[in-house]
Amino acid sequence: MIYDKKSFLPGNIEDPEIYQKVFDALPIPIFYRDLKGVYQMCNKAHEEFSRTPRSQIIGKSVFEIHTKHMAEIYYHKDQELLANPDVQIYETQVRNKDGARMDVVINKAVIRSNDGEVMGIVGSINDVTTLKKTEMRLEKAQESMEISSHMLHKINVGILMMNEEHKVVDSNESFAKLMGEETSELYETIPGLKGADVEVLVPEVIFKMLSSIMASGEEMLERDIKFSNKLLHISVVTLYKQKVVGAVIRDMSAPLLVRDEIINRAHRIKEQNIDTVQKIAHLLGENAAETEELLNSIIQSYRYGDDQ
């Protein structure tokens, strides 16, 4: 025989505290309560979890250790397990001595004597607080994504999102229509065109803009292009640096959009001109009073034009 089975029997272990040492080495809080709900054993992880030293736990009941609310939960769950001796798993919330609330999963089972009689309950406590918080964040993120996706598909301008593999993350129907009949038909088959190759869907110049922003991580790139007898204004932006980029495509052939864009650009040019004039005035210095007065008159004329 390779080993002597008798050497592994409890009576042959020289250190009587070997089991406690084994339990203390485990990172999960473990406890053992007798039939009266009195703690007979717990490990170091349990002490840290409950923030109570072992000397203040052993020999005391759940009602002496925990709040009345938690003690009643533990007591009733223990009674359920003793009435149906098997394995019991349930989720609950506990508060530590600092008042912090924690989400836990408790695993329990009965422990029997050599005669098969139930002696008590052994259990472990798994802190799932971080997991719960992560689940909640994921649920909220999923809800936000659904709302954002719904809004995206209702917007009356073309929207396209591309990942680092040059695949479509999502797009809306307006984008598909702007790209032509073939893309519109594909959109009906593949909602959002998710997973499609962007290079195949868009003109070369748009793909180059998307690829450029993806590689450089720049915030934004804009330009106008002609495509299928339409004048399109393309705005490409970084959504997640070098991970996801987006394109907003507007058909400038639509009369209302043309008018809005002209006004928009005119305002930007005027603001730039005003800013330039003010910088020149500052550079000329305080002694150039006549020139400064002239420049201020120019600024006022721009602003008057805005009011008109």
pLDDT digits (tens, 9 = 90+) for 145-197: 777 777 777 788 899 999 999 999 999 999 999 999 999 999 999 989 999 99
What are the tens digits of pLDDT across the range 111-153? 998 888 999 999 999 989 888 888 888 888 788 777 777 777 7
Same domain for 120 and 15? yes
Mean pLDDT for the stretch of residues 250-255: 76
Inter-residue contact 58 to 71 (CB < 8 Å): no
At residue 28, the pLDDT reads: 92
The residue from 212, 229, 253 where one domain ends is 253
Q: Which domain holds residue 294?
A: 256-307
The residue from 82, 110, 126 where one domain ends is 126
Report the phi/psi class of residue 242: left, alpha or beta, with left for phi > 0 and alpha for psi in -120 to 50: left
Mean pLDDT for the stretch of residues 48-68: 90
Same domain for 208 and 102? no
Mean pLDDT for the stretch of residues 54-82: 91
Q: What is the DSSP string of 134-197?
A: HHHHHHHHHHHHHHHHHHHHH-SSEEEEEETTSBEEEE-HHHHHHH-HHHHHHHHHSGGGTT-B
> Is 280 contained in some domain?
yes
Mean pLDDT for the stretch of residues 292-305: 49
Same domain for 240 and 200? yes
Q: At residue 199, what is the residue type? A: E
At residue 57, the pLDDT reads: 93
At residue 281, the pLDDT reads: 46
Same domain for 117 and 175? no
> Is 135 contained in some domain?
no
Q: What is the mean pLDDT of the chain?
A: 80
Same domain for 17 and 101? yes
Same domain for 48 and 97? yes
The yes-or-no verdict on residue 287 having pLDDT over 60 is: no
Same domain for 297 and 229? no
* CA-wise closest residue to 173 among 162, 165, 183: 183
> Is 143 contained in some domain?
no
At residue 201, the pLDDT reads: 94
> Is 94 contained in some domain?
yes
The yes-or-no verdict on residue 56 having pLDDT over 80 is: yes
Distance CA 65, CA 284 (A): 80
> Is 149 contained in some domain?
no
Same domain for 187 and 272? no
At residue 8, the pLDDT reads: 43
Same domain for 122 and 11? yes
> Is 210 contained in some domain?
yes
> Is 82 contained in some domain?
yes
Inter-residue contact 222 to 233 (CB < 8 Å): yes
At residue 282, the pLDDT reads: 52
At residue 1, the pLDDT reads: 39
Distance CA 210, CA 213 (A): 5
Same domain for 68 and 16? yes
The CATH code of the domain that includes 177 is: 3.30.450.20
Same domain for 31 and 121? yes
The residue from 208, 224, 253 where one domain ends is 253
> Is 136 contained in some domain?
no
What is the total count of domains within the chain? 3
Q: At residue 37, what is the residue type? A: G
At residue 286, the pLDDT reads: 47
Inter-residue contact 94 to 104 (CB < 8 Å): yes
Distance CA 178, CA 234 (A): 12
Same domain for 273 and 247? no
* CA-wise closest residue to 159 among 175, 144, 183, 142: 175
Q: What are the tokens at 184?
A: 């519109």
The yes-or-no verdict on residue 5 having pLDDT over 60 is: no
Diameter of the chain by CA atoms? 111
